[in-house]
Amino acid sequence: MATLLPVPHMYVEKYLIEERIAWFIKNKYKPLCKLKNKSERKFIFIEKEHFQNFIFLANTKGGPDGAVRIYFASYPNDNSAPKGFEDLLTLIFVPAEKKGQEHSDLEGQYYDFDPISGHFQKLSYSVASTSVSKFQKNDLKELNKTVDTPEGDTKSIIYTIKKLLELSEEMDYQKASGVKIYFSSYRNIDTDHSRDQYPKQLILQFVLTELIGNSHEDFFIDEREDFPQRERQMKIINNQADLINKEVSKVDSLIKLLGTDSFDTGSPCPPATCGQTKLP
């Protein structure tokens, strides 16, 4: 029997991704569109080569115990923004290194993904800070109305290099064409906090794509033919088949098998510990 790649820790079930995106569209996306009087972005698409090259860069800069902090930001409403993207959401990617129990942003390492050229580009602190500050002054003020926590909605999310490398490996395994990073949010769930740790908080969902004709179409690994075999292999590897039962979902079972507390794709700030951030 051929060795199958373990399911990556950033895996989230299709139904859960779709429910979270739907909650974002209804409760956060529409207010943002109204605020800006134009259609907001729903996702950022990055081709596999460019995504993997950036993860390699972040690994080189921050080391194997490092991370990438992704800040929510907004383009300025002037000629410095990509044409057609003025005022719209964007993301600032910052490699971080492990210091004690937290991750510290690396100084001078600020990147965004240019939707026109289709490449990551390095930014000055001034440009990165201006975009992040604009989001927090305008967008975040509106988004804070959609959450119940006194800390307000999410400003940034941190992802460990190890989990991002797993995702990169999954892209090769699936022969993916790229990844769409969807703006999303935890649902308003009162009873299932293991799946929606911070109800209503803004998050990101990473969805792999495949090239069909000239279009990069979403696909979900739990719909792939080999996914049941990958589940079974994990049971064998961990020698804990008794953890799988009919009363819990597939992902809840896998969480127990892998010894991890969550398959969600990052730690939002706030309300989680933010570590040592360089941007606002």
pLDDT in tens, 60-74: 999 999 999 999 999
**pLDDT above 80: residue 87:** yes
Percentage of the residues of the chain whose pLDDT score is greater than 90 = 68
Higher pLDDT, 263 or 280: 280
**SS3 call for 87:** coil
Is 2 part of a structural domain of the chain?
A: no
Higher pLDDT, 196 or 118: 118
How many Å separate Cα 84 from the centre of its chain?
Answer: 24
Tokens of 241: 């088949």
Range of the domain at 67: 14-224
Q: What is the largest CA-CA distance in the chain?
A: 60
Percentage of the residues of the chain whose pLDDT score is greater than 70 = 84
Query: Of the spans 16-20, 197-201, 268-272, which averages the highest pLDDT?
Result: 16-20
Rg (CA), the chain: 19
Q: How many separate domains does the chain show?
A: 1
CA distance 169 to 215: 22
Is 243 part of a structural domain of the chain?
A: no
Q: What is the pLDDT of residue 9?
A: 86
Is 233 part of a structural domain of the chain?
A: no
Classify burial at 109, counting beta carbons within 10 Å of its beta carbon; exposed 0-12, middle 13-18, buried 19 or more.
buried
**pLDDT above 70: residue 77:** yes
**pLDDT above 50: residue 155:** yes
CA distance 175 to 62: 27
Tokens of 206: 């990473």
Closest CA to 159 of 86, 261, 66: 66
CA distance 109 to 122: 7
Closest CA to 25 of 227, 136, 166, 187: 187
Is 239 part of a structural domain of the chain?
A: no
Cis upstream peptide for 8 (omega within 30°): no
- The arithmetic mean of pLDDT across residues 84-90, rounded, is 97
pLDDT tens by residue, 16-41: 999 999 999 999 999 999 999 999 99
- The arithmetic mean of pLDDT across residues 30-57, rounded, is 98
Q: What is the pLDDT of residue 280?
A: 80
Is 263 part of a structural domain of the chain?
A: no
Q: Please state the pTM of the whole predicted model.
A: 0.88
**SS3 call for 4:** coil
**pLDDT above 70: residue 168:** yes
User: Across all residues in the chain, what is the average pLDDT?
Assistant: 87
**pLDDT above 80: residue 141:** yes
Which of the four pLDDT bands, split at 50, 70 and 90, describes residue 245? very low
Is 45 part of a structural domain of the chain?
A: yes
Which of the four pLDDT bands, split at 50, 70 and 90, describes residue 213? very high
Using an 8 Å Cβ cutoff, are 7 and 234 in contact? yes
Classify burial at 35, counting beta carbons within 10 Å of its beta carbon; exposed 0-12, middle 13-18, buried 19 or more.
middle
pLDDT tens by residue, 107-123: 999 999 999 999 999 99
Q: What is the pLDDT of residue 115?
A: 97
Which of the four pLDDT bands, split at 50, 70 and 90, describes residue 279? confident
Q: What is the pLDDT of residue 2?
A: 57
Using an 8 Å Cβ cutoff, are 158 and 267 in contact? yes
Is 171 part of a structural domain of the chain?
A: yes
**SS3 call for 255:** helix
Is 253 part of a structural domain of the chain?
A: no
- The arithmetic mean of pLDDT across residues 126-139, rounded, is 96
